[in-house]
């Protein structure tokens, strides 16, 4: 493959021509299709928005404009902004990702003394190397080595996951990194050391802990999890949130096992670091773990890139069951189907596979229930238990049926709904038609409920047809040639909508295309969303040029009317104050406005 090289200039910014080249090398439909399903409708493609939950697809992708816009949540942008939002990464990271896919290499340089996020990766890597070397050779790490071997970890596994040890010292890694040339401020920013609470200087954040490097999807060390060797608390300590480390956006082990997940077609999700490592060592390699945090929509987006099924592994205690149920709403409307695996009481994945082996664990995986089946069965079992213990069959059935229906109504697929209704009917001993009637009644109540209060402007915008301002701006967004026609005629002040004024300023004062404007620092998210909505909105005119001219006249007449009313107010105020020279000036201005209005109306 030919590798094209592009350099960052010395200020660290990516040149516009390189961004344009990278963006042009990637088709937005192809890129977005890697993450969500799209269906061709007319000239555009449509699918369900990945940025909010919806049943009816309202996410539109325009191959012609290389723009996307969701008419449900009003977010929009181009291929770069899509990756930024979908993967929660920065602008440079999104550009580099697209450049890598296109075989375009970007060489980054900074002024002396300036450092980008790349430096944080370097600090973390140096710390990981240091911790790993300590575990392998340092006398102070003997207890840690014995601990890991007692947990059943082989030296090969320790090397594979680059497990390390932080000696019980206040300045071990600090002194080492200083000798390596890293500055104190960079170590603090990376979360490896922390400032002393009193006085100057810093101390090691991790002391006397087994160190588990955490990698991002590009195999870069972004943080650490540290585990104590005894019963002290906290048992696990993670790196703090940094520009490159966010627990809700990372899955432990994903960098190493993403290909295994693709091959298996599903991912096994566990809660602990040691669970991931123990399963991997036993030969179950399509496994990842959360970093001591609840499963989030961002975790789901990560998984969605590699598989369409996830097996969630939890303890069988009430906390584990509740944790499983809390993930249901995240999965229920996604393309990734979830199953729930409850381990035998007293076991976690690490201990279970250690006692029973790989085959027994995979047998549990195969028997895992779909998350909706799991949730409905829990409710049905509880109803039966209550009826058996208390003899309150009717009330418990009514409540149980209501709880089941509240889950089923969230399912967008009617066929799936029907199957689950049958399951509940059989489980609770209630006729299917009765349950369907209740489901419909619940939906009717929802439809008849008092509407949420919507701001007047939002409500008006939702029901009114596009006004002249919006039609005019839409034409300018869609057609660069029309922008050239109106450069000397149209003014920013002709628009009354503040956001339209901002967009018009960008369109009229430069020759940049919509993508360059969207990528610029001066373009806020609201402007991006509005411009992409206009770009993908299909408006057809017999003559765009005539429509443009008519809209300009409407805007100019309205502006002149506003200015005329303002001048009349000023005249009245000047007369009241006896400032007659000012009255003469304003009368001349009034005459000029009348002349301009006359010309417009005659034309």
* % of the chain residues with pLDDT over 70: 89
Q: What is the DSSP letter of 576?
A: H
d(CA 25, CA 19): 10
Q: Is the pLDDT reported for residue 460 higher than 50?
A: no
> Residues 533-585: pLDDT tens digits?
887 776 667 677 888 888 888 888 888 888 888 888 888 888 888 888 888 88
The reported pLDDT for the residue numbered 177 is 96
394 Cβ contact partners less than 8 Å away, ≥ 6 residues apart: none
> 175 and 201 in contact (C-beta within 8 Å)?
no
Please list the alpha-helical segments (H only) found in 391-513. Answer: 393-408, 414-428, 432-448, 456-463, 468-478, 480-486, 498-508
DSSP string spanning 269-281?
EES-HHHHHHHHH
Highest mean pLDDT among 162-171, 306-315, 480-489: 162-171
The reported pLDDT for the residue numbered 105 is 66
Helix H or strand E encompassing 68: strand 67-70
d(CA 309, CA 479): 43
Least confident of 116-125, 351-360, 454-463: 454-463
The rounded mean pLDDT for the chain is 84
d(CA 13, CA 16): 9
Q: Is the pLDDT reported for residue 11 higher than 50?
A: no
The reported pLDDT for the residue numbered 26 is 80
The reported pLDDT for the residue numbered 151 is 92
Nearest to 22 by CA among 99, 101, 89: 99
Q: What is the DSSP letter of 191?
A: T
d(CA 99, CA 79): 12
What pTM did the predictor assign? 0.61
> 368 and 339 in contact (C-beta within 8 Å)?
yes
> Residues 464-517: pLDDT tens digits?
456 888 888 888 887 777 777 776 778 888 888 888 888 888 887 777 777 777
């Amino acid at each position: 493959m030919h590798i094209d090289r592009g350099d960052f200039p010395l200020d660290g910014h990516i040149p516009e021509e390189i961004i344009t080249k990278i963006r042009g090398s990637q088709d937005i439909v192809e890129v977005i299709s890697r993450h969500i399903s799209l269906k061709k409708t007319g000239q555009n493609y449509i699918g369900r928005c990945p940025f909010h939950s919806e049943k009816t697809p309202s996410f539109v992708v325009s191959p012609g404009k290389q723009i996307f816009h969701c008419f449900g949540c009003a977010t929009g942008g181009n291929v770069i902004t899509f990756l930024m939002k979908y993967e929660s990464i920065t602008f440079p990271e999104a550009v580099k990702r697209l450049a890598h896919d296109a075989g375009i290499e970007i060489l980054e340089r900074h002024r002396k003394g300036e450092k980008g996020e790349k430096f944080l990766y370097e600090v973390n890597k140096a710390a990981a190397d240091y911790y790993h070397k300590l575990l392998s050779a340092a006398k102070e790490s003997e207890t840690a080595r014995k601990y890991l071997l007692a947990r059943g970890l082989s030296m090969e596994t320790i090397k594979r996951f680059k497990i390390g040890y932080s000696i019980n010292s206040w300045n071990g890694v600090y002194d080492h990194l200083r000798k390596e040339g890293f500055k104190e401020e960079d170590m603090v920013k990376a979360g490896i050391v922390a400032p002393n609470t009193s006085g100057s200087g810093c101390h090691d954040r991790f002391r006397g802990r087994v160190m588990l490097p955490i990698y991002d999807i590009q195999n870069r060390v972004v943080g650490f999890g540290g585990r104590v060797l005894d019963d002290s608390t906290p048992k696990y300590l993670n790196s703090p949130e940094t520009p490159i480390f966010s627990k809700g956006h990372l899955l432990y082990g994903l960098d190493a096992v993403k290909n295994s997940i693709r091959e298996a077609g599903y991912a096994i999700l566990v809660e602990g670091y040691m669970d991931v490592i123990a399963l991997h060592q036993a030969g179950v390699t399509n496994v990842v773990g959360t970093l001591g945090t609840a499963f989030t929509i961002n975790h789901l987006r990560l998984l969605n890139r590699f598989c369409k099924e996830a097996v969630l592994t939890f303890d069988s205690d009430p906390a584990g069951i509740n944790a499983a149920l809390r993930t249901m709403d995240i999965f229920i409307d996604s393309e990734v189907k979830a199953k729930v695996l409850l381990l035998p009481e007293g076991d976690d994945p690490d201990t279970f596979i250690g006692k029973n082996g790989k085959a027994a664990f995979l047998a549990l995986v195969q028997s895992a229930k779909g998350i909706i089946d799991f949730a409905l069965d829990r409710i049905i079992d509880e109803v039966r238990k209550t009826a058996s213990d208390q003899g309150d069959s009717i009330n418990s059935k009514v409540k149980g049926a209501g709880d089941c229906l509240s889950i089923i109504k969230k399912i967008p697929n009617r066929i799936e709904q029907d199957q689950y209704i049958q399951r509940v009917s059989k489980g609770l001993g209630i006729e299917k038609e009765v349950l369907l009637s209740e489901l419909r009644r619940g939906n009717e109540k929802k439809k008849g409920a008092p509407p949420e209060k919507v701001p007047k402007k939002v409500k008006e915008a939702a029901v009114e047809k596009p006004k002249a301002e919006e039609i005019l701006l839409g034409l300018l967004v869609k057609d660069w040639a029309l922008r050239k026609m109106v450069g000397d005629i149209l003014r920013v002040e002709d628009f009354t909508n503040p956001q339209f004024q901002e967009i018009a300023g960008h369109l009229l004062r430069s020759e940049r295309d919509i993508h360059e404007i969207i990528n610029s620092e001066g373009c806020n998210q609201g402007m991006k969303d509005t411009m992409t909505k206009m770009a993908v909105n299909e408006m057809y005119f017999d003559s765009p040029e005539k429509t443009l001219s008519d809209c300009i006249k409407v805007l100019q007449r309205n502006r002149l009317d506003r200015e005329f009313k303002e001048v009349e107010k000023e005249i009245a105020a000047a007369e009241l104050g006896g400032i007659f020279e000012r009255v003469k000036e304003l009368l001349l201005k009034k005459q000029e406005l009348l002349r301009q209005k006359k010309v417009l109306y005659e034309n």
